[in-house]
Chains A and B, each alone.
Chain A
Amino acid sequence: MSKPRDLVQGTLDLLILKILALEPLNGWDIGLRLTQVSDDVLQVSDGSLYPALHKLEQDGLIAGEWRASENNRRAKSYSLTRLGRKHLQKEAANWERISGAISRVLTLKEV
């Protein structure tokens, strides 16, 4: 089992990848989307988000592209690469397996 911190980090990466799988977004919008979709349960701080994005970019899982935003400002928009898509599938399946196992343990009836 990996350390708790790794689990959190790894999970954030997974979430980012999934969100980007649906459509390319810039950093700000990713944070927003995450909060929206999870009904305010998951809130990610900028201190975690941007390093995570940069790391994913360095690892080749996502690719950054500079675009003009609505207000004509320069914004970096990320999208999923083919490598990232494969990684996402693998990690998502992994997550299903692990979380399923955790659920089963936690729902054991107390004797």
Chain B
Amino acid sequence: MRWLYTLPMRMRSLFRRVQVEQDLHDEIQFHIDELASRYIARGLTPDDARRAALRDTHSIEALKDRCRDTRRIGWIEDAIRDVGYTVRTLRRNPTFAAVTILTLALGIGANTAIFTLVNAVRTDALPYEDPDQLVELWGNVLGTRVERRGAAYPDFLDWRARSRSFEEIAAFDPQMTTLMGIDWPERISAEFVSASYFSLLKINPTRGRTFLPEEDLVSNPAAVVVMSDILWRRRFGADPNIVGKTIGLRGGPFTAYIVVGVMPYGFRGLTDNAELWVPFALWGDPTVMASRTVRGFGALARLKRGMSMETAQREMDGISLQLQTENPSTNTARGVTVSPLDVELVGPLRPILRILMGAVGLVFLIACVNVTNLLIARTEARRTEIAIRTALGAGRARLLRQFLTESCVLTSMGGVLGLAVAGGLARTLMAWSPVTFPTFVAPDLDWRVATFTILASLISGILVGVGFGLQTAKHGGHDSLNQTVKGIRGPAAQRRRKALIVVEISLAVVLLSAAGLMVRSVRSLARLHPGFNPDHVLTLHVSRQTALPGNPTSVDGPPSRSVVEGRVLLEQIRGLPGVVAASISDDVPLDGRQARNFYAVDGPPVTDAQSRPSAYLHRVSPQFFNTLQIPIIRGRTFNDSEAASTSRAVVVSENLVRQFWPDVDPIGKRLKLGSLTSDTRWLSIVGVVGEVKYRRLRQNQDPYPDIYIPFLDRNAQVAIAVRTTLPPASLTGSIRGALRDADPSIAVYGVALMEELISVQMSGLRFVMWLISFFAGMALLLALIGIYGVISYMVHERTREIGIRMALGAKRSTIMASILRQSVILTGVGIGIGLIGASAVGRFFQQGLVLFGASSIDATTLSCVALLFAVAATLASGVAAGRVTTIDPTIALRCE
């Protein structure tokens, strides 16, 4: 309780100093006056009385001092004084201050940026209440390490009924669907969800309500939807009466759905992408929903309070066993994995971020050490100051405290600057990252980040200050001038500094080489030919009404029989000015789809009976190869008569021909889809085309070949490729318009320039390249600063010796040469070690498949780096050694 009384006093002593001093003065003055009155009462004159009083009192200033000493805020006052002194010192050396603060800002800022990201993906960053209780349930196959298969609906219902570990379970599955009945149809992302989904996530709608349990029954599903805020604003103009209105969706048993609610802004469902939610009961037709073999969705669950994940997993394993016994034909070896939600959503990001933190932490340490070296180098110039302070009675502890304050001031300023930079840095990293961050990840500078920055600044301050202070105040006891600086000059300290510089140089060389390797990789990848000409090509996907046999006319759109044909769409597009060629197919290169099929060849039997050959199958219109400019090596493409379901024409890619008919003309040879015993037709080859990088730019050595068959226009979704003379982006509008004219019920989506798709392929590699280049740049900067510091210190230290030599007739250039020789040795050793390290890193990159098109020990890169570094280091040393030219021998001789 004592502090209740003492704290106000301390505050007063600190902040109302003037008043406090005045009080003290008045109090003593009163005492003296009273004493004087006494003397006057005894008969002295006022003057004599005054003099007598003063004589009787202790020296007033000393008395005041003793009273001041009781104030117990000495250490605060000392600290404030130290800080003021530091600021003045720094102002006298602005370049030094700027360089140091910038170095620290870089180090602290980079660390804070990464930490911001680490913080943003921690468990409670998830935008749901009590996220540590949320888990996902995925059906799997026991005993294999295959990817998850998902659940079957009857299994899901059993899980829900039988488990006791969860408060609620909800099924969810993302799907694309087409929104109808508005200006133009649009493909949107939706999620099929159980009615309990929203209450499970504890998110309430801003308008209306979410699904009722009775709307989510397979026996009687309701045609209702819940809308996202984004969709509501974008397509429905934020209509305040949206609840209760009807919208149209294509596919499924209903075409018209009632909107029952709108979710809050920013909620995009678990898949982070959804604009609409539909009851899960509509996920498939009743047969599918009753089947235990159709598996394909995951479930979300909330653990009961106090329930652990392990207990829940054990219970689910038990339930799986029960289901196995009850349904041996469908559920044998089928189990359930319970996995925490945060791992599902952000798990893959965490190890990457941890590695980044490690790397950036290393750079931070180097920055601190560098600053220490800088401070030491500067101490030489402050010898006089230290000597005077020591003479005035500053003990070793006091000096240490001063240095500590200095480093703390520097690091806190660096920290503030770093914090300012960190936010922008984190956002840039997120924007450039090839791995998409979920939208809820926001690199906010919250209290955790601020605390981290403060800690980082403090630690660096202590590291630097202690390291520096220990070096300077080594020989304590009797702090004579010589003793104080002996610590800085000692041979052991010199060696330590030189070793540190060599380490910095090697590290910079390693990072620079790594960056060089990455640059080459990216350029090789960019030069890679994708097998077609992506220049001036636009690709897009179209979703149309299909005529389902027996279905009545739908609410909107033309009568069912006249589904617009692909041929008609193509004609519309070809009629546009600026269009050179257009083709239609079920997929286009780099659109992310893959469908592999087995095939069998009529000819030499497959040598390896185990592995049946498979290839990627594409259905394309005859102009496909021409539009994409895929080279036709032999034969021809399809002609119009072959674009029918009875056609037997097939075009294959080079690798297939090379595998089976390496020396013979393949035209006319036959193959069929499936196996030799399937009842598919035999197809005969009419043409051979070059290999295309269909799925990814960087492919395995032996990719599967491609088989092309004529496009049959059976699917609702098709892909269209368009080659243009004008810039393709300018034609997007007219192409959309042309398609809509042909059929207003069409939804156009996935519009992309082929060039963009290709550059997206390289984004991962490019990101790594930029990151490593950034670190390399920092390391280079630090190393150069370090070299500069060491050399200029060397010059300063040997001023007297230089003076003597010059007085004895040595030329300045000779002396500079001898100093530079030292620097060259240091740099040489550093580069040598660095090159060895670089080869090791190169090999590591190669194994990690990060490299592309460059060998691990790339002579060009390494020699370039070595040269670059040598030049830069020489420049830095040269500037530092240039001080030699300013030394006046007469002054140098007197210096010690």
A binding-site residues for B, Cβ under 8 Å: 26-28, 45-47, 50-51, 54-55, 57-60, 63, 66, 69, 73-76, 81, 83
Query: Do the beta carbons of B9 and A58 come within 8 Å of each other?
Result: yes
Query: Do the beta carbons of B6 and A58 come within 8 Å of each other?
Result: yes
Query: Do the beta carbons of A60 and B5 come within 8 Å of each other?
Result: yes
Cα A50 to Cα B27 in complex, Å, equals 9
- Would you mind naming 14 contact pairs between A and B with Cβ atoms under 8 Å apart? A27-B27, A27-B30, A28-B30, A28-B35, A51-B66, A58-B9, A58-B71, A58-B72, A63-B5, A73-B33, A74-B26, A75-B30, A83-B1, A83-B5
Cα A1 to Cα B273 in complex, Å, equals 78
Residue B28 at the A interface, CB < 8 A? Answer: yes
Nearest A residue (CB) for B68: A54
Residue B444 at the A interface, CB < 8 A? Answer: no
Cα A73 to Cα B69 in complex, Å, equals 26
Cα A59 to Cα B70 in complex, Å, equals 9
Closest 8 CB pairs of A and B: A60-B5, A47-B58, A55-B70, A51-B66, A28-B34, A54-B70, A54-B67, A76-B27
Query: Do the beta carbons of B23 and A76 come within 8 Å of each other?
Result: yes
Chain A residues with CB below 8 A from B734, complex form = none
Chain A residues with CB below 8 A from B4, complex form = 60
Q: What is the number of residues of chain B that contact chain A, defined by CB distance less than 8 Å?
A: 26
Residue B63 at the A interface, CB < 8 A? Answer: yes
Chain A residues with CB below 8 A from B9, complex form = 57-58, 60
Residue among B5, B26, B58, B63 with the highest chain A CB neighbour number at 10 A = B5
Nearest B residue (CB) for A28: B34
State which of B1, B23, B30, B35 has its C-beta within 8 Å of the C-beta of A26: B30
Cα A46 to Cα B54 in complex, Å, equals 12
Chain A residues with CB below 8 A from B67, complex form = 50-51, 54
Chain B residues with CB below 8 A from A54, complex form = 67, 70-71
Cα A6 to Cα B23 in complex, Å, equals 28
B740 to chain A, nearest CB (A): 84
Contact code string B54-66 (vs A, CB < 8 Å = 1, else 0) = 0001100011001
Query: Do the beta carbons of B33 and A50 come within 8 Å of each other?
Result: no
Query: Do the beta carbons of B31 and A46 come within 8 Å of each other?
Result: yes
Query: Do the beta carbons of B6 and A73 come within 8 Å of each other?
Result: no
Query: Do the beta carbons of B71 and A59 come within 8 Å of each other?
Result: no
Cα A41 to Cα B367 in complex, Å, equals 69
Chain B residues with CB below 8 A from A69, complex form = 30
Cα A8 to Cα B1 in complex, Å, equals 27
Known contacts A50-B67, A51-B66: does B6 contact A60 (CB below 8 Å)?
Answer: yes
Chain A residues with CB below 8 A from B69, complex form = 51
Cα A92 to Cα B2 in complex, Å, equals 19
B52 to chain A, nearest CB (A): 14
Cα A66 to Cα B31 in complex, Å, equals 14
Chain A residues with CB below 8 A from B1, complex form = 83
Query: Do the beta carbons of A50 and B72 come within 8 Å of each other?
Result: no
A105 to chain B, nearest CB (A): 34
> Which residues of B1-57 have CB atoms within 8 Å of chain A's CB atoms?
1-2, 4-6, 9-10, 23, 26-28, 30-31, 33-35, 57
Nearest B residue (CB) for A45: B58
B28 to chain A, nearest CB (A): 7
Nearest A residue (CB) for B60: A46
Query: Do the beta carbons of A46 and B5 come within 8 Å of each other?
Result: no
Query: Do the beta carbons of A46 and B2 come within 8 Å of each other?
Result: no
Known contacts A47-B63, A51-B67, A54-B71: does B28 contact A81 (CB below 8 Å)?
Answer: no
B39 to chain A, nearest CB (A): 14
Known contacts A73-B30, A73-B33: does B66 contact A46 (CB below 8 Å)?
Answer: no
B binding-site residues for A, Cβ under 8 Å: 1-2, 4-6, 9-10, 23, 26-28, 30-31, 33-35, 57-58, 62-63, 66-67, 69-72
Chain A residues with CB below 8 A from B34, complex form = 28
Query: Do the beta carbons of B70 and A51 come within 8 Å of each other?
Result: yes
Query: Do the beta carbons of B2 and A60 come within 8 Å of each other?
Result: yes
A34 to chain B, nearest CB (A): 14
Cα A51 to Cα B359 in complex, Å, equals 57
Cα A27 to Cα B63 in complex, Å, equals 14
Nearest A residue (CB) for B64: A50
Nearest A residue (CB) for B31: A28
Chain B residues with CB below 8 A from A28, complex form = 30-31, 34-35
Nearest A residue (CB) for B6: A60
Nearest B residue (CB) for A59: B6
Cα A66 to Cα B20 in complex, Å, equals 12
Cα A46 to Cα B9 in complex, Å, equals 22
Nearest A residue (CB) for B10: A58
Known contacts A46-B58, A46-B63, A47-B63: does B31 contact A27 (CB below 8 Å)?
Answer: yes
State which of A26, A27, A59, A75 has its C-beta within 8 Å of the C-beta of B2: A59
Cα A51 to Cα B63 in complex, Å, equals 8
A24 to chain B, nearest CB (A): 15
Cα A62 to Cα B71 in complex, Å, equals 14
Cα A50 to Cα B10 in complex, Å, equals 18
Cα A74 to Cα B839 in complex, Å, equals 83
Query: Do the beta carbons of B71 and A76 come within 8 Å of each other?
Result: no
Cα A69 to Cα B26 in complex, Å, equals 13
Known contacts A58-B6, A58-B72, A59-B6: does B30 contact A46 (CB below 8 Å)?
Answer: no
B29 to chain A, nearest CB (A): 9
Chain B residues with CB below 8 A from A58, complex form = 6, 9-10, 70-72
Query: Do the beta carbons of B28 and A50 come within 8 Å of each other?
Result: yes
Query: Do the beta carbons of B70 and A83 come within 8 Å of each other?
Result: no
B44 to chain A, nearest CB (A): 18
State which of B5, B6, B26, B63 has its C-beta within 8 Å of the C-beta of A50: B63
Known contacts A46-B57, A46-B58, A57-B9: does B70 contact A76 (CB below 8 Å)?
Answer: no
Cα A66 to Cα B5 in complex, Å, equals 18
Query: Do the beta carbons of B5 and A47 come within 8 Å of each other?
Result: no
Nearest B residue (CB) for A29: B34
Chain A residues with CB below 8 A from B10, complex form = 58
Query: Do the beta carbons of A76 and B30 come within 8 Å of each other?
Result: yes
Chain A residues with CB below 8 A from B27, complex form = 27, 50, 75-76
Chain B residues with CB below 8 A from A60, complex form = 2, 4-6, 9
Nearest B residue (CB) for A74: B26
Chain A residues with CB below 8 A from B23, complex form = 66, 76
Chain A residues with CB below 8 A from B35, complex form = 28
Cα A93 to Cα B70 in complex, Å, equals 26
Known contacts A26-B30, A28-B34, A57-B9: does B66 contact A83 (CB below 8 Å)?
Answer: no
Cα A39 to Cα B4 in complex, Å, equals 38
Cα A58 to Cα B6 in complex, Å, equals 6
A60 to chain B, nearest CB (A): 3
Chain A residues with CB below 8 A from B58, complex form = 45-47
Nearest A residue (CB) for B57: A46
Chain A residues with CB below 8 A from B5, complex form = 59-60, 63, 81, 83
Nearest A residue (CB) for B37: A71
Chain B residues with CB below 8 A from A76, complex form = 23, 26-27, 30
Chain A residues with CB below 8 A from B2, complex form = 59-60, 83
Cα A70 to Cα B714 in complex, Å, equals 113
Nearest A residue (CB) for B56: A46
Cα A83 to Cα B2 in complex, Å, equals 8
Cα A81 to Cα B4 in complex, Å, equals 12
Nearest B residue (CB) for A69: B30
**Given pairs A50-B28, A51-B67, 17 additional interface contacts (CB within 8 A):** A27-B31, A28-B35, A45-B58, A47-B63, A51-B63, A54-B67, A58-B9, A58-B71, A58-B72, A59-B2, A59-B5, A60-B2, A60-B5, A66-B23, A74-B30, A81-B5, A83-B2
Cα A59 to Cα B34 in complex, Å, equals 27
Cα A60 to Cα B66 in complex, Å, equals 18
Cα A66 to Cα B69 in complex, Å, equals 21
Nearest B residue (CB) for A52: B70
Chain B residues with CB below 8 A from A27, complex form = 27, 30-31
Chain A residues with CB below 8 A from B71, complex form = 54, 58
B54 to chain A, nearest CB (A): 11
A94 to chain B, nearest CB (A): 18
Nearest A residue (CB) for B9: A58
Nearest A residue (CB) for B22: A74
Cα A69 to Cα B1 in complex, Å, equals 33
